Structures are given as C-alpha cells and as structure tokens.
C-alpha cells in the first residue's frame, strides 16, 4: 500500500515540538523544582541570550568553525570512502585504523589537541573534522560497496576509464548513502562542537550552557538547550530538503510503505 498524502503531514513535526513543550510545561509545574523551570520561562529567557552581543558573536564563531570542519571532512572522507568501497586492498588498509579510532570520543581529544595546538580556531576545527569524518567515510564506503558490479561492467564496456567510472557511476549510485552519511555528519558536527566547548570551557554555546549552570541561572540553561536543539533540528531539516532534491530517484529510507499492517 502506498502512503497517500495525509493532510497535516507537514505540520506533524511542529505539532510534535509543541506537544513536547507542553509536556515539559506540565512536568515542570507538577515537579515544582527550582532547578527545573517551565518551558515558558525558558522560552522567555531566549532573547536574553540572543541580545547578549558577546554570546551571539561566540555562537556565530562556533558555527563558522563547524561549517569549515564539516566541509573539509566531506571533501576528504567521501573520496576515501568511495575508494575503500571499490577496492578491497584500500579497504583492508584503512579498516583497522578506522576501527581503532571509531570508539574514541573525538571531543575527548580536545585537551590533548589544545595542549599541542593551543586553544585557537585550529584545534576546535580539527576536532569537528575528526568527529564528522568517520560516519561520512563509513556511509560512502557502504554506498560504493553496494554499487552493482554489472553497472560497472557495462560502464567499462562503454569505454569508461577507472577514474571516469568512479565519478560517473559509483558517485551517483552511492549518492543517497553518501548523503545519509553527510546528514549524520552534520548533526555530529554540532554535537562535537557543543561537547568540545563544554570540555574546553573557553567560549561558544557549550560554554554558555555550563556557565549558566554554575551560576545557577536555570532559565538560561534551558533557554540555551532550546537554542542548541533548534539548531540541530533546523540543520537536519535543511539538509533533508536538499537531500530530497538531489536524489529524488531514490526511495526515501524511512518513508517506506508499511508492509504488514
């Protein structure tokens, strides 16, 4: 059965947001806890943060580092992942190294990288780069690996060179999977950024969050949580729109029709 257009599908995420906020409001009112302000109080505190010029500049600077780290990671990881997916040798060369790096929390490298490169933009961007790379490599790898062999054979029969086959066949065929990786990577970039700011406690959204916590300004803590959450959801929604445009031909993964109901 194909899922038909249901009115209100577009509004559903907004309704979900609203529902979650209402739940929060009710929970806060019920708990009557000093350190757990109501949703409404938190929302009212949002302008306080955004009006603070220094805070705003800090957040924007974080965003810039995030964008750069993300972009560089994509440029490096996608070709690497694709090559791993098409060549057994390349894959077995890099796999163990990646397996070792995979479970290491990238933001946890912050103290060490700060020790080496100082507290400047470079170390913060580097950590974001590391955080984004692995899922993008992984998804590009999976995407390239599952490209059908026959498609490449017919490409070769049409006289495409190995490099041309990579760009003209493997890249587009793996694109849906690559974009899934990029989507994960984008959210991870934000997470790595916030976490490393929480650990380094120099500036940025994560720092504001914990400063407010230390000062006991709980409205601000929760306001900042809303801001960061909204950033994550917006980034994801923007990317999802882009993805849907780019790979219209591919079946959207989580919008599959239900097969047993």
Single residue of 177, 181, 224, 243 touching other proteins by CB under 8 A: 224
- Whole-angstrom CA distances from 229 to 61, 169, 194, 248, 258 are 18, 37, 11, 28, 30
Q: How far apart are CA 173 and CA 196, in angstroms?
A: 35
Single residue of 190, 204, 223, 243 touching other proteins by CB under 8 A: 190
- Total site size for other proteins, rule CB under 8 A: 71
Specify the 3-state DSSP secondary structure of 137.
Answer: helix
User: For other proteins, which stretch binds (CB under 8 A), given 76-84, 153-161, 165-173, 250-258?
Assistant: 250-258
Q: How far apart are CA 28 and CA 253, in angstroms?
A: 36
Structure-token match 């700011």, residue found: 197
Residue 170 or 220: the one with the smaller Cβ distance to other proteins is: 220
Single residue of 187, 246, 247, 250 touching other proteins by CB under 8 A: 187
User: Which parts of 197-216 interact with other proteins (CB under 8 A)?
Assistant: 198-199, 205-206, 209-210, 212-213
Residue 156 or 211: the one with the smaller Cβ distance to other proteins is: 211
Residue 83 or 190: the one with the smaller Cβ distance to other proteins is: 190
Q: Which of 158, 2, 1, 173 is nearest to 86 (CA)?
A: 173
Residue 21 or 160: the one with the smaller Cβ distance to other proteins is: 21
Structure-token match 């994560």, residue found: 206
User: Which parts of 101-160 interact with other proteins (CB under 8 A)?
Assistant: 101-109, 111-112, 115-116
- CA torsion sign for 177, 178, 184, 187 is negative
Q: How far is the CB of 170 from other proteins (least distance, A)?
A: 18
97 neighbors 80 (Cβ within 8 angstroms): no
Report if residue 66 touches other proteins, rule: CB under 8 A.
no
Single residue of 7, 32, 96, 157 touching other proteins by CB under 8 A: 96
Single residue of 93, 120, 153, 244 touching other proteins by CB under 8 A: 93
Torsional class of 4: left (φ above 0), alpha (ψ -120 to 50), beta (otherwise): beta
For residue 192, which phi and psi values (nearest 5 degrees)? -60, -40
User: For other proteins, which stretch binds (CB under 8 A), given 46-54, 76-84, 151-159, 191-199?
Assistant: 191-199
């Amino acid at each position: 059965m194909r899922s038909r257009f249901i009115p209100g599908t577009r509004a559903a995420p907004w309704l979900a947001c609203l529902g979650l906020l209402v739940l929060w409001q009710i929970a806060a009112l019920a708990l009557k806890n000093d350190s757990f302000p109501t949703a409404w109080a938190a929302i009212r505190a949002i302008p306080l943060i955004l009006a603070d010029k220094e805070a705003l500049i800090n957040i924007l600077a974080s965003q810039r580092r995030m964008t750069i780290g993300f972009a560089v990671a994509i440029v490096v990881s996608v070709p690497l992942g694709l090559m791993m997916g098409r060549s057994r040798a390349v894959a077995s060369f890099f796999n163990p190294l990646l397996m070792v790096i995979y479970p290491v929390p990238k933001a946890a490298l912050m103290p060490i990288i700060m020790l080496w490169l100082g507290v400047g933009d470079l170390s913060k961007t580097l950590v974001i780069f590391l955080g984004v790379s692995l899922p993008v490599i992984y998804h590009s790898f999976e995407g390239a690996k599952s490209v059908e062999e026959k498609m490449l054979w017919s490409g070769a029969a049409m006289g495409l060179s190995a490099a041309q086959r990579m760009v003209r066949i493997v890249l587009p065929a793996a694109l849906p999977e690559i974009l899934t990786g990029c989507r994960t990577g984008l959210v991870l970039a934000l997470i790595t950024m916030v976490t490393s700011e929480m650990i380094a406690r120099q500036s940025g959204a994560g720092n504001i969050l914990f400063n407010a916590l230390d000062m006991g300004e709980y409205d601000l803590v929760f306001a900042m949580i809303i801001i960061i959450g909204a950033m994550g959801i917006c980034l994801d929604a923007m990317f999802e729109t882009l993805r849907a445009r780019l790979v219209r031909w591919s079946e959207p993964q989580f919008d599959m029709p239900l097969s047993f109901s």
